[in-house]
Amino acid sequence: MSERAGPVVLKLGGSVITRKDQPETVDESKLDAVAATIGEAAVDSLVIVHGGGSFGHPAAAQAGVSLASGTHDTTAISEIHAAMGRLNEAVLDALHEAGVPAVPVRPFSAGYRDESGAVVQPTGAIETMLGEGFVPVLHGDVFTTVDAGATIVSGDELVVSLAASLAAQSVGLCTTVPGVLDEDEDVIPEIERFDAVEGVLSGSDATDVTGGMAGKVRALLDLDTPAQIFDPDGLAAFLGSGAPGTRIDGSSQ
Ranges of H-type helices in the chain = 14-17, 28-40, 53-63, 74-97, 107-110, 124-131, 155-165, 212-221, 235-239
243 binds, among ligand IP8, ligand ATP, none (CB under 5 to 8 A by kind): none
Task: Work out which of 12, 16, 38, 84 binds ligand IP8, going by CB under 6 A.
Answer: 84
Please give the C-alpha separations between residue 99 and each of 79, 129, 135, 185, 212, in angstroms, as whole numbers. 30, 16, 11, 36, 31
Binding of residue 155 to ligand IP8 (CB under 6 A): yes
Subset of residues 97 to 156 that bind ligand ATP, contact rule: CB under 6 A: 155
Nearer to ligand ATP, 115 or 185 (CB): 185
**How big, in percent rounded to 5, are the helix, strand and coil portions of the chain?**
40, 20, 40
Contacted by 200, from ligand ATP, ligand IP8, none: CB < 5 to 8 Å by type: ligand ATP
Residue 7 site contact among ligand IP8, ligand ATP, none (CB < 5 to 8 Å, cut-off depends on kind): none
Q: Does 12 appear as a known binding residue?
A: yes
Q: Is 15 annotated as a binding residue?
A: yes
Q: State yes or no: residue 52 binds ligand IP8 (CB under 6 A).
A: yes
Angle at which helices 28-40 and 74-97 cross, to 10°: 60
Residue 20, annotated as binding a ligand = no
40 interacts with ligand ATP by CB under 6 A: no
Counting contacts by CB under 6 A, is residue 229 touching ligand IP8?
no
Instruction: Establish if 141 lies at the interface with ligand IP8 (CB under 6 A).
Output: yes
Nearest approach in angstroms of CB 15 to ligand IP8 is 8
> Residue 2 is which amino acid?
S
Q: Kindly tell me which of 56 and 245 has the beta carbon lying closer to ligand IP8.
A: 56
Q: Is 208 in the site for ligand ATP (CB under 6 A)?
A: yes
Report d(CA 146, CA 113) in Å as an integer: 6
d(CA 11, CA 21): 20
Beta carbons of 231 and 177 less than 8 angstroms apart = yes
